Amino acid sequence: MLDQLMNAIPTSQLARAVGEDEATTRKAVQAALPALLGGLSANANDQTGARSLLDALGQHQNSLADDVRLDAVDPADGEKILGHVFGGNTDAVVNQLGGLGGGGQMGGLVRKLLPLLAPIVLSWLAKQVGGAMGGQGAPRGGAPTTSQPDGPLGQGRPDPAAGSAAQDGGIDPTSVLQDVLGGALGGVTGRQSGSGGGGILGDVLGSILGGGRR
């Protein structure tokens, strides 16, 4: 699943956008994608975070999932997503990824790429969750939202009194979300199988993402 996402990323477009060669850009993307997915997974493992993430996915059901074009990506939206995914740890994540090779150059490149990749990843994830839900589309938080713009992800906070769509058709959207993220992360971290580490998430980002950002 991670390979599928990687293959959908327009690496050549990204390279031109950030002024780097394509091979180096691809290496940075390969480091950044698991970090983004790991942060999203940390949110999904918390009930409130999962509802807010589902709401955000509902807002990112768009053409990016099928036709990834940088001119359709809003970097400002990407920066907001990063703030919600990593909280105050965005710089720490970038610094850790920068140590994977290339020193400060790699870290700087990852920082440029993250706000471009974040909206693409959310759109891709919305499509995967929607497909796993039987083509219903990604549910918006499992409940109607208020107008409060302070949920961990998305523009609204789920109304706990409004009920849950988890019972709709017997499909639990939170479980679907967690399964999709687990499948995407299975190839890059041994934590999914209980081995305690390995890969980018286990060895490099484990101490940052292990506690989960909400």
pLDDT of 68-79, one tens digit each? 889 899 999 999
**3-state SS, one letter per residue, for 82-121:** HHHHHHHHHHHHHHHHHCCCCHHHHHHHHHHHHHHHHHHH
DSSP state of 64: G
Confirm if 63 and 166 have CB atoms less than 8 A apart.
no
Cβ atoms within 10 Å, residue 189: 26
pLDDT value at position 93?
Answer: 85
Beta carbons of 182 and 201 less than 8 angstroms apart? no
> pTM for this one?
0.74
In the predicted model, residues of the chain with pLDDT beneath 70 are 99-104, 135-170, 187-214
Question: How many CB atoms within 10 Å of residue 83?
Answer: 15
Give 200's DSSP letter: I
pLDDT score recorded for residue 106: 82
3-state secondary structure of 196: coil
- Per-residue tokens: 62: 């768009």
Is residue 81 within 8 Å of 126, Cβ to Cβ? Answer: no
Residue 111: the pLDDT is: 92
pLDDT score of 4? 86
User: Residue 188 burial by CB count (10 A; 0-12/13-18/19+): exposed, middle or buried?
Assistant: buried
Query: Helices H, strands E: what count in the chain?
Result: 10, 0
pLDDT of residue 200: 52
Per the CB < 8 A criterion, the answer to whether 82 and 153 are in contact is no
Determine the length of the chain.
Answer: 214
CA-to-CA distance for 145 and 125, rounded, in angstroms?
20
Task: Decide: 89 and 38 in contact? Cβ < 8 Å.
Answer: no
